Amino acid sequence: MNGLLFDFDNETPLKPADKSPEARIAELSDLLRKYQDEYYIQSRPSVSDAEYDRLFNELQDLEQKYPQFARPDSPTLRVGSDLEADFAEVVHAIPVLSLDKTHSKEELMNWVLKTESRCGKAEFIAEEKIDGVSIVLTYKEGLLVQAATRGNGFVGNDVTANVKTVKSIPLKLTQPVDLTARGEIFLPLEAFAQVNDRLAVPYANPRNLASGTLRRQKSAEAGEIPLDSFIYEGFFPEADTPVTHAQVLSRLKELGFKVNSRTTLFSAGDSQAIAGYIEKEREERKTLPYEIDGLVIKLNDIKMRNELGYTGHHPRWAIAYKFQAPEGISVVKGIDVQVGRTGRITPVARIEPVVVSGSTVSNVTLHNQDYIDMLELAVGDKVTVSKRGDVIPAVEAVVEKNELGNPVWKMPSTCPVCGSALVLDGAHHFCKNMQCSARVKGQIIFFASVAQMDIETLGSETIDFLVDNGFIHSIPELYTFDFNRLKDYPGFGDKKVELIEKGLEKSKGTDYLKVLSSLGVPEIGNKVSETLIKNGIDSIDKLLKVVDDADVVKLTSFEGIGEKTAQIIIKEFSSPILRAQIEALRRAGLKFQQEAPLQKELINNKFAGQSWCITGSFVNFRPRTLAAAEIEARGGKVVSQVTGKTTHLLVGAEPGSKLDKARANGITRIVDEDEFMQLLAEA
């Protein structure tokens, strides 16, 4: 637990004296559940993080010594297990249907009028449609016994172990009731930005990351992702069923569930106010800390719901109003695959150019085979294309199948570059050949990029030429190759060769922090490298010692490094190929020990108290992290999303929705690149 401020002057440690192990375990379990509810549900913690951790560790130790006394709702279940999950199928005990959908206010109001014509004047209740993963929770006598995905509406996957790591989902209700609940598990935007930033293969959006987390094979890994939840339906025993949906939500909250407070009740005869509510939500959507893709309008009266019943597809008493994302219609002309520096194979749709959100899109990432199968996508299909978050182009749906008879596209069995057999690892296919020229190119391009070693004049085109012509086969060969050999080739005059050699020589003075992160090891970006160095692993020799000892405990003791990252570090740095590259780079003169304590270079504090968000692309700041570094060097804070606390928005070419959000939030300091350059000069 962290991140909240409160006063703990009256905090007193709990004394375990004279208690039996069983009694102490029961006492600690109850107390920690109370603290978890205060922190994750009510946002009003009454104890410090240190005290909570002390009690949590004590409970863990006791449960390890006396497992027979561990409770099925123990707070220690929140950290998950290292055991493999098998995701058995379970049959739902309640209807888990889809919702009827509309994208127009006129259709929505027609549905309201039609519903009232069948029921009479009625109350409606409106909720935000969270863009997350639907979940079905089953409680027996107040204990969580099962959590399942929606699946096909009748059968879902058992993800109980992973869901138990979601802090806002109670393992034990405040009352010993039998209950089935439906809700949405999601990842808040700020948490998504932080988690995605440290992943070697980032996710396209929070929903995808939340879904992937719930399907982790080890719940301990799921527990590293700060998922959250809102519960929106409860199915109680008949004698205990509330009369209205508003009462259902109130009852769910009493039982310990997290319920979205942004719910609106429309009194009978006031259904026309729903149209105004939609516009209000459309505007406020831009400032929410989580993603919503629409609204859900429901009858409030449970008896009326039962009278209307269900179709084979959806309840007749509810409808989803979907926000219209900026979309274009195009045709898939072909699907290629790209090979990344980690060997990951990414399918890319080549589409007829279409304008979406003000820019022309002709290439769209399709992520993986599962994504393509979900769309049932084939070459020649007519598709809708959107920009998720107004940034990332995405194929949303197939609107018309091709007339050529093309089947759903399938991933090739071999790497299109080197011919090696592809290996399915999780949801993605990989080329495992370390000598694959596409991987080599990607690794060298990453190593030499501005954000990493910043080797002057060594751009992607030059690297492509070097690899394609067999001059360079690995990163270390940059420092041993005689670039004078290139002078006989077009484009490689004396000046360019001189600049490349100077850039390589200059890079030998780069700090170990940047050298380590530039190796391109999965999960080892700037943040993890910084974490290692700040915790005393300030040289490659110390890191390799931890790896040789397989010291997962040591690595996971550092804040920000979880079990999965620790295992990846050990696996990757055990590779003979990587170790040989490190030794070759060491011989070339690169630094493999941090020579000075890490600290952010602070030029001055002219931007102190300012919160900046960045959108668009820039001439002088490629990548945008260079602009962020300039802001932080002057005492400012850089955030990933526009909120009411954002003071400045730095706007480049082709800005996304953040510009609209800034205007909606009344942010007066919208700064273009020229003004930003002037501010930097003044500061």
Average pLDDT value for residue range 346-360: 87
Task: With a cut of 60, say whether residue 7 has pLDDT above it.
Answer: no
- Sheet of 648-651, strands arranged across: 637-638, 611-615, 648-651, 669-672
Q: For the chain, what is the mean pLDDT?
A: 85
Q: Tally Cβ neighbours within 10 Å of residue 191.
A: 19
Fold of 611-682: Rossmann fold (3.40.50)
Would you put residue 137 in left (φ > 0), alpha (ψ -120 to 50) or beta? Answer: beta
Task: With a cut of 90, say whether residue 209 has pLDDT above it.
Answer: no
Does residue 623 have a cis peptide bond before it, meaning omega lies within 30 degrees of 0? yes
Please report where in the chains the tokens 């209205």 appear, as a residue: 244
Pairing of strands 179-186, 228-235: antiparallel
Answer whether 13's CB lies under 8 Å from 31's CB.
no
Q: Which long-range contacts (CB under 8 A, 24 or more apart) does 540-547 make?
A: 540/512, 540/516, 540/582, 540/586, 540/592, 540/593, 541/592, 541/593, 543/516, 543/569, 543/573, 544/573, 544/579, 546/570, 547/573, 547/574
pLDDT, position 184: 95
pLDDT winner (highest mean) among 81-85, 356-360, 366-370 = 366-370
Encoded tokens for 197 = 């930033």
- Enter the pTM of the model: 0.50
Average pLDDT value for residue range 505-520: 92
Average pLDDT value for residue range 109-128: 92
Task: With a cut of 90, say whether residue 661 has pLDDT above it.
Answer: no
Handedness of CA 80, 84, 89, 90 (dihedral sign): negative
pLDDT, position 84: 47
CATH number 3.40.50.300 is the correct assignment for the domain at 100-322: no
User: What tens digit of pLDDT does each residue of 323-337 get?
Assistant: 866 678 999 999 999
Question: Amino acid letter at 163?
Answer: V
Encode 106-139 in three state secondary structure. HHHHHHHHHHHHHHCCCCEEEEEEECCEEEEEEE
Give dist(CA 1, CA 55) in Å, integer.
13
Higher pLDDT, residue 617 or 161 = 161
User: What tens digit of pLDDT does each residue of 421-453 get?
Assistant: 999 987 889 999 988 999 999 999 999 988 789
b/e burial code for range 331-364 (CB count within 10 A of at least 16 → b) = ebeebebebbbbbbbbbebebeebebbeeebeeb
Give dist(CA 638, CA 264) in Å, integer.
34
> Residue ranges per domain, the chain?
21-78, 100-322, 327-427, 437-588, 611-682
Class of domain 21-78: mainly alpha
Q: Tally Cβ neighbours within 10 Å of residue 250.
A: 13
pLDDT, position 663: 75
pLDDT class of 10 with cuts at 50, 70, 90: very low
Q: How many residues does the chain have?
A: 683
What's the half-sphere exposure (Cβ side, CA atoms, 13 Å) at 337?
A: 25
Encode 413-474 in three state secondary structure. CECCCCCCEEEEECCEEEECCCCCHHHHHHHHHHHHCCCCCCCCCCCHHHHHHHHHCCCCCC
Give dist(CA 364, CA 312) in Å, integer.
35
Give dist(CA 221, CA 585) in Å, integer.
33
Task: With a cut of 60, say whether residue 154 has pLDDT above it.
Answer: yes
User: What tens digit of pLDDT does each residue of 210-255 get?
Assistant: 888 888 888 888 888 999 999 999 998 877 789 999 999 999 999 9
Higher pLDDT, residue 205 or 202 = 205
Task: Indicate which residues carry an active-site annotation.
Answer: 129
pLDDT, position 599: 55
Beta strands per DSSP E along 518-568? none
Handedness of CA 75, 78, 84, 85 (dihedral sign): positive
Q: Which residues have a Cβ under 8 Å from the Cβ of 254 and sit 6 or more positions away?
A: 174, 175
User: What tens digit of pLDDT does each residue of 24-70 get?
Assistant: 988 898 888 888 777 655 546 676 656 776 788 788 888 888 888 88
Task: Give CA torsion, residues 469, 474, 480, 483, to 10 deg.
Answer: 30
Superfamily of domain 437-588: 5' to 3' exonuclease, C-terminal subdomain (1.10.150.20)
pLDDT class of 102 with cuts at 50, 70, 90: confident
Give dist(CA 527, CA 511) in Å, integer.
14
Number of H helices, E strands in the chain: 23, 22
User: What tens digit of pLDDT does each residue of 587-599 get?
Assistant: 999 999 988 666 5
Task: With a cut of 80, say whether residue 179 has pLDDT above it.
Answer: yes
Q: Tally Cβ neighbours within 10 Å of residue 458.
A: 24
Identify which of 377, 383, 410, 379 has the alpha carbon closest to the alpha carbon of residue 396.
Answer: 383
Average pLDDT value for residue range 399-425: 92
Average pLDDT value for residue range 410-430: 92
pLDDT winner (highest mean) among 41-55, 167-181, 185-199, 203-217 = 167-181
Identify which of 584, 522, 523 has the alpha carbon closest to the alpha carbon of residue 341.
Answer: 522
Please tell me if the domain spanning 327-427 has the same topology as the one spanning 611-682: no
pLDDT class of 14 with cuts at 50, 70, 90: very low
Q: Which range (83-97, 126-140, 165-179, 558-572) has the least confidence? A: 83-97
Q: Which residues have a Cβ under 8 Å from the Cβ of 3 and sit 6 or more positions away?
A: none
pLDDT class of 79 with cuts at 50, 70, 90: low
pLDDT class of 270 with cuts at 50, 70, 90: confident
Task: With a cut of 70, say whether residue 8 has pLDDT above it.
Answer: no
Please report where in the chains the tokens 């979601």 appear, as a residue: 166
What's the half-sphere exposure (Cβ side, CA atoms, 13 Å) at 137?
A: 33
**CATH architecture of the domain with range 327-427:** Beta Barrel (2.40)
Average pLDDT value for residue range 396-421: 92
Task: With a cut of 70, say whether residue 12 has pLDDT above it.
Answer: no
Q: Which range (18-22, 448-452, 554-558) has the least confidence? A: 18-22
